[in-house]
Chain A
């Protein structure tokens, strides 16, 4: 399995040193650099792995692994004194796809099960339920949820509330009394009526994957050149900085766009996420983001110049922020203000907004244009920094 060491960059075969380089020279040098980079990609199995195996594995893991839809939540039902009234209430839990109800004879047993994590919640109907119900008082129904996972707890609470509301209306209708809850809510969820969390997570996931391909891969390959000293060797050739950077960018850009097409195809065909906007717009936005990610990778490697530090920095500065600060899974609007400012320098944030909109809502130009301009700005800033840092090193 010993992979051949990628050939030294002299294979780029610089042309003889003729001071004023013509356009043909430049094109030839660039072609040579890109060829060298392409050969390096093809020869090192780990680069290919990043571009093609990684998206596949990530999409499968994330697509199936990340879900916020709690279904078949195990809950305990305790009815102290069963009667037709209580059965009418508990029956709704049996039929709900959200719950997997288990009967407990006594509240103590249910509490033990909750403590051991066997169930996520308890619905407790006390002994005097019937009495209070029929005497016109308000009968209390005890609900306990395990609050450790606050989000799931809230969803479970919401589901139980839904069951309760439906039951209230049925009960009022049977008694011929006016509705117990006077306000009738008509709730509509746009873009994702079934509230499938996968539909919003998979588009955001594309951003995480593109970050990995773009930033991590370039960070590592350029750091490797610095570490081995081949970068300095490149710099004494007539090749200009601009050409070195371009020679690095183009092959990885192509690799990244390949990974993107693959991810989009999987999102649409495997995960059945609707693509309501245009594919062309999606590709254009992705190209912009990929440039930003590549620039970020180049910057990291130029600063680090060592694979250990570059790898660490790429994970810390690109992958984890793309996961947590991009709005891919956690809502940016709910973060404290200083963190919200911080998210503005995370390129993935803008790309996630575009992805979620183009996939689920369609071509909403007000969203796309604002975020695309931000991406362009970030790309220019990073590219500018890369050029300055690389040049300094030469002096």
Chain B
């Protein structure tokens, strides 16, 4: 029996890797994507364009603006002369932010009256606006505190001391790169498996396979193992790159990570084979893979937190294996989690994997044309 299964596994690898184009598709794009997406997928702001309309002739406004000029998050686009210039500049997306300083800014400060600064933000990308607003406020607050200290205001009654755990400088990349490990592993395993049965159905060789002495269970193993092996190597390569090329700290236990990877591959291959067994043509197989892939990207918490979704969506995310694997990846990479802490993430993936594999096996025989 093992001899037969081994033969099938060998044949699957041949089918996948003998064609140069297919081979390239499995190996090159994930690496390109890792690099492109790791640098591109960031919520950190860099050189956000801003313009200044400073009507105040005094010293204080210049001090305030110096704080912005020194910040790497902002890039000064230009100074404006009158209010009419604001709208065209913002409308055409040349700047995201305009700082408008009141004519009496310095005078009000010296008289200990509230000095006014108006800030206009382009809300078309609301996240950029929100993050830029946060940066801007911390610069203004720092100026306020400095001014209060040096000009004999009473000391501030209380101050925040903010500390971020696990990611002290709050770099998006530390969040995104472990996520990409999961995302790309899923893409590769799904695509490798989703077409494997459909291709044979289309070519008619699956019927031939069914009349051989191979039992459905053995066919299942033959189809599962190649996907898992390819996924395993792909994921290991990306994990290596995440640690050594992107310098993401790997704080937890590798054992916990690989246990998660194994279960994740099991569920990914299971879903892929299930799609493949339902599909009649390769096109339908690809579409099915897509219908799994897209919700996985969106609902797994890869880019946007699950906690922000409405309740019913949050419930739906429990069906998505990537959701669990992302928690494991980020837990092991950043929080230093070990297997005992991650148990709630392991078993749902195991369940999804076993159920989908069982269903796929059943479909082998019960979906004939």
Cβ-defined partner of B162 (8 Å) among A66, A138, A157: A157
* B234 smallest CB distance to A (angstroms): 14
Contact yes or no, B119 A178, CB < 8 A: no
List B residues 78-104 near A (Cβ within 8 Å).
88, 90-93, 96
B residues at A contact (CB < 8 Å): 19, 21-22, 25, 29, 33, 36-37, 39-49, 64, 88, 90-93, 96, 109, 112, 114-131, 133-134, 137-138, 140-141, 143-145, 147-148, 153-168, 170-172, 174-175, 187, 191, 195, 199, 280-284, 286-287, 289-291, 293-295, 297-299, 303-305, 307-310, 313, 330, 334-335, 341, 369
* Inter-chain contacts of B308 with A (CB < 8 A): 67-71
* Inter-chain contacts of B117 with A (CB < 8 A): 183-186
Contact yes or no, A324 B115, CB < 8 A: no
* Inter-chain contacts of A188 with B (CB < 8 A): 118-121
Stretch from A144-152, A244-252, A262-270 at the B interface: A144-152
Contact yes or no, B187 A339, CB < 8 A: no
* Inter-chain contacts of B283 with A (CB < 8 A): 44, 46, 220-221, 224, 307, 311
* Inter-chain contacts of A287 with B (CB < 8 A): none
* B153 smallest CB distance to A (angstroms): 6
14 chain-A/chain-B pairs, Cβ below 8 angstroms: A64-B310, A68-B130, A138-B157, A145-B164, A148-B166, A148-B334, A171-B158, A182-B144, A190-B121, A192-B123, A195-B123, A316-B25, A324-B40, A334-B128
Query: 10 closest A-B pairs (Cβ-Cβ)?
Result: A192-B123, A147-B167, A147-B164, A151-B43, A311-B286, A184-B114, A366-B92, A334-B46, A189-B123, A158-B134
Contact yes or no, A158 B144, CB < 8 A: no
* Inter-chain contacts of B126 with A (CB < 8 A): 68, 189, 192, 195-197, 199-200
* Inter-chain contacts of B161 with A (CB < 8 A): 140-143
Contact yes or no, A361 B154, CB < 8 A: no
* A389 smallest CB distance to B (angstroms): 15
Cα(A152)–Cα(B303), bound, Å: 11
Known contacts A66-B298, A343-B40; 15 additional CB pairs below 8 A are A50-B287, A58-B294, A65-B298, A138-B159, A145-B163, A149-B175, A151-B172, A153-B170, A154-B131, A154-B134, A161-B138, A180-B156, A185-B117, A311-B283, A331-B45
Cβ-defined partner of A146 (8 Å) among B92, B116, B166: B166
Cα(A224)–Cα(B285), bound, Å: 13
Contact status of A309 and B49, CB under 8 A, knowing A145-B162, A191-B123: no
* B76 smallest CB distance to A (angstroms): 14
Contact yes or no, A64 B330, CB < 8 A: no
Q: Max chain A CB contacts within 10 Å: which of B158, B171, B307?
A: B158
Check: A136 CB closer than 8 A to any chain B CB. yes
Contact status of A220 and B131, CB under 8 A, knowing A133-B157, A178-B112, A190-B90: no
Cβ-defined partner of B158 (8 Å) among A46, A153, A168: A168
Q: Max chain B CB contacts within 10 Å: which of A129, A172, A190?
A: A190
Cα(A336)–Cα(B314), bound, Å: 33
Cβ-defined partner of B140 (8 Å) among A54, A185, A189: A185
A316-349: CB near B (< 8 Å → 1, else 0) gives: 1001100111010111011110110011000000
- With both beta carbons as reference points, the residue of chain B lying nearest to A159 in the complex is identified as B134
Cα(A97)–Cα(B309), bound, Å: 15
Cα(A129)–Cα(B159), bound, Å: 11
Cα(A65)–Cα(B161), bound, Å: 33
- With both beta carbons as reference points, the residue of chain B lying nearest to A152 in the complex is identified as B305
* Inter-chain contacts of A1 with B (CB < 8 A): 280
Contact status of A197 and B282, CB under 8 A, knowing A70-B308, A315-B293: no
Cα(A50)–Cα(B130), bound, Å: 35
Contact yes or no, A335 B25, CB < 8 A: no
- With both beta carbons as reference points, the residue of chain B lying nearest to A312 in the complex is identified as B25
For chain A, the bracket of interface size reads 35 or more
Contact status of A312 and B157, CB under 8 A, knowing A153-B164, A197-B126, A334-B45: no
Check: A18 CB closer than 8 A to any chain B CB. no
* Inter-chain contacts of A319 with B (CB < 8 A): 294
Contact yes or no, A308 B125, CB < 8 A: no
- With both beta carbons as reference points, the residue of chain B lying nearest to A205 in the complex is identified as B298
* Inter-chain contacts of A58 with B (CB < 8 A): 294
Cα(A62)–Cα(B302), bound, Å: 13
Cβ-defined partner of A309 (8 Å) among B22, B88, B290: B22
Contact yes or no, B129 A189, CB < 8 A: yes
* A96 smallest CB distance to B (angstroms): 15
Contact yes or no, A67 B304, CB < 8 A: yes
- With both beta carbons as reference points, the residue of chain B lying nearest to A316 in the complex is identified as B29
Contact yes or no, B93 A357, CB < 8 A: yes
* Inter-chain contacts of A336 with B (CB < 8 A): 39
Contact yes or no, A70 B36, CB < 8 A: no
* A42 smallest CB distance to B (angstroms): 15
Contact yes or no, A200 B125, CB < 8 A: yes
Q: Max chain A CB contacts within 10 Å: which of B64, B163, B280, B294?
A: B294
Contact status of A325 and B36, CB under 8 A, knowing A141-B159, A164-B158: yes
- With both beta carbons as reference points, the residue of chain B lying nearest to A143 in the complex is identified as B162
Cα(A164)–Cα(B127), bound, Å: 22
* Inter-chain contacts of A182 with B (CB < 8 A): 109, 112, 114-115, 144, 147-148, 153
* B100 smallest CB distance to A (angstroms): 9
Check: A115 CB closer than 8 A to any chain B CB. yes
* Inter-chain contacts of A192 with B (CB < 8 A): 123-124, 126, 129
- With both beta carbons as reference points, the residue of chain A lying nearest to B306 in the complex is identified as A65
Contact yes or no, A46 B170, CB < 8 A: no
Check: A139 CB closer than 8 A to any chain B CB. yes
Check: A11 CB closer than 8 A to any chain B CB. no
Cβ-defined partner of B165 (8 Å) among A44, A142, A145: A145
* A194 smallest CB distance to B (angstroms): 8
